[in-house]
Amino acid sequence: MLTLYGQDLRSRLLLGTARYPSPAVLEDAVRSSGTEVVTVSLRRETAGGRQGGAFFELIRALGVHVLPNTAGCHSVSEAVLTAKMAREVFGTNWLKLEVIGHHDTLQPDVFGLVEAARILSAEGFEVFPYTTDDLVVAERLVEAGCKVLMPWCAPIGSAMGPQNIQALRAMRANFPDVPLIVDAGIGRPSHATRVMEFGFDAVLLNTAVAGAAKPALMAAAFAGAIDAGRQAFEAGMLEPRDFAVPSTPVIGKAVFA
Ligand SMILES: CC(=O)[C@@H](O)[C@H](O)COP(=O)(O)O
């Protein structure tokens, strides 16, 4: 069971709602993913070009938790204002906080992120910060009030998969009690399995499902991959060895040559 800000969840997949070809495709993907949390941008163009009321009605009708996000915000003031609007619209204190710092890579502005996280946490928001894999920034975010961390594994929408395994492992080791969700850059189910295998608590993804030829099928594939990675982590995996270990015992062998 995954617990985020006191909310118990069975699914460890959080799904984005942008870039789907139509609202119907989005709905199918959400249902087949088994997700219990979808993230929604107030600013980004939404499925099939539907914006505002109609789109938000569709999201509410899905019956899942809504995690509003500040995608597209490039400053602290813009992110804080968008967060407050999101709370009005969705009636939740949850917030996926994005403060974008770099136009090409969409890398977070970690300085603005920490500042915005501090302001919003003090105002009662439960902040899910989209951050890098930097340990010091992560520490500052926790000090600012964040009880969940969401490091990228590659740039948003790149589908490159984990680029710095050691940094992600270091985050897990340094924050054993903070739920860690990989957010952004996952391209394939195997990428999701990999990060789950080394102990991440969940994965948030959008582009890999929304951009697939069959989004609902891909959503189901990701759900299975995330479960497999989690089960493997809980089962306790062998460390790779650079020598052979016979799987058949030699005791009882007739001839020892
Ligand atoms: C919807 C959303 O929040 C995404 O921008 C998120 O960061 C996931 O990134 P990918 O689209 O790379 O999965």
Mean pLDDT by 10 residues, the chain (257 residues): 97 96 95 97 57 78 94 96 93 97 93 98 98 98 98 97 97 98 98 97 98 98 98 96 86 67
Pairing mode, if any, of strands 202-205 and 181-183? parallel
Q: With contact defined as beta carbons under 8 Å apart, do 30 and 15 qualify?
A: yes
Ligand 1 center–CA 206 separation, angstroms: 5
* pLDDT computed for residue 107 by the predictor: 94
Which of 105, 156, 163, 203 maximizes ligand 1 atoms within 8 Å of its Cβ, making it the mutation to test the pocket? Answer: 156
Q: With contact defined as beta carbons under 8 Å apart, do 135 and 128 qualify?
A: no
What are the backbone dihedrals phi and psi of residue 235, each rounded to the nearest 5 degrees, phi first? -75, -25
Note the pTM of the prediction, 2 decimals: 0.92
Closest CA to 149 of 138, 161, 136: 138
231 vs 178: CA distance, rounded Å: 19
Ligand 1 center–CA 177 separation, angstroms: 24
159 CA closest ligand 1 atom index: 12
**Catalytic status, residue 147:** no
* pLDDT computed for residue 256 by the predictor: 60
**Distance from the first to the final alpha carbon of the chain:** 52
What are the backbone dihedrals phi and psi of residue 99, each rounded to the nearest 5 degrees, phi first? -125, 105
184 is in an annotated binding site: yes
* pLDDT computed for residue 201 by the predictor: 98
The single-letter code of the amino acid at 77 is: S
* pLDDT computed for residue 15 by the predictor: 98
